Amino acid sequence: MPPFSVPELNVVLAQEYRKSVLVQWTAVLGALAHLSFIPLFWVYGHPYLALLNVLSVSMWCASLVANYKGAHRLAIYLIATEAYGHAAIVTIVLGNMSGFHYYLLPLACLAALSPAITRWKSALLGMLGMLLFILLERLPAGFTPLEVAPGLPSAMATVNLTAALAGMVCFVIIISYLIEKQERSLTKIATRDALTGLFNRRFATDYLRQLMEQQRRSPSPCCLALVDVDHFKLINDEYGHRVGDKCLVQMADMLTTHFRRSDTLCRWGGEEFLLIFPGAGQREMLPVIESFRERLRTQPLQHQGKQIIVTISVGLTNVTPGTAPDALVNQADSLLYQAKAEGRDRIVSGSVKDEPPQNVRPRSPGNLESSSDQPKPAN
């Protein structure tokens, strides 16, 4: 993983994700900052401090490698040791007017957020950093044992303070970004089906409740369809579950490209899909679903040179204001059952309060079909 890339959520434990990435970016920025100090001290006649920064860069790089390999505790200890020791040495040598102790402010905050360390140890590291900052800040004015401070630019303290504050702002921005990214990931895990990427049953159930409440306040055309892949168990048994999964993924991809972005497409369970069409009744959606059924039959699944024709049975019903969500799904399921009983590869539409269901029959028999007088199988 490159230093500037953000790792995926599964690289570290979810609760340590933000802290780990923060340590990673801190190590990168710390190494770059100390690398820039090497020519600065060398040019202004402080070769020993330049060599000290060579050691500092190596420690920051070591912490980056440790964090990348998952040794987060070692990484934060290396950062704290280098930062606290370096700030103390340089500030004592050059005096607190040089402002190098300002870097303790963001780094002490980082230490308090350190991953893989107990909270009391993290708090202790942060407190030690703040205490060291106070001690260095209270050094007597003009305290420069080696009297080398005048060799640096007079604006050095301002530059260091600006850089330290900018580091704190960067920490806040990074943490905010990571929180949002993690929330999006967790929301996706909670609402999306892992295989197909469609919404899952939990989301569909919650969405139906909200939709029915909206319909109660302001009725508008709406319908839903329960779709089932015909003879899916036979596909699994004959070709294996990997081919069955591939079939479901292809089905989901085709659903996504065929229907409107405003339509809610969900994997209801197994080989069943629940499609919700706000703003459109069954009379409007019936030809659209029929065209999808025909399209699915003309794009067979390819497996080891064989073509697996996939067909579907559909139960389509209007969303009637005042009807419970479970009743709507049960109505669609009853219509789906009827489509299965009549031979599959067809759409049966109706409504809770409408006339008897209407059938849309296929133009030609589908693959793996049974005669219409056979009872409905498990799928």
In contact, 254 and 197? CB cutoff 8 Å? no
Over residues 48-55, mean pLDDT: 91
pLDDT for the residue numbered 142: 58
375 pLDDT above the threshold of 50 = no
State the catalytic residue, choosing from 147, 238, 271, 355.
Answer: 271
Instruction: Show the CA angle centred on residue 263, arms to residues 297 and 269, nearest 5°.
Output: 65
Per residue in 200-247, pLDDT tens?
A: 999 999 999 999 999 888 999 999 999 999 999 999 999 999 999 999
> pTM above 0.75?
no
Q: Mapping DSSP to helix (H, G, I), strand (E, B) and coil, where does residue 354 land?
A: coil
Share of the chain above pLDDT 90, in %: 40
Show the 3-state SS of 101-115.
Answer: HHHHHHHHHHHHCCC
Q: How many CA atoms lie within 13 A of 159 on its CB side?
A: 10
Residue 70 per-residue DSSP state: T
361 pLDDT above the threshold of 70 = no
Helices and strands counted in the chain (H then E): 11, 8
- The average confidence (pLDDT) of the chain is 82
Report which secondary-structure segment, H or E, holds 63. helix 47-68
Residue 272 annotated as catalytic: no
Structure tokens at 3: 């230093």
Show the 3-state SS of 170-215.
Answer: HHHHHHHHHHHHHHHHHHHHHHECCCCCCECHHHHHHHHHHHHHHH
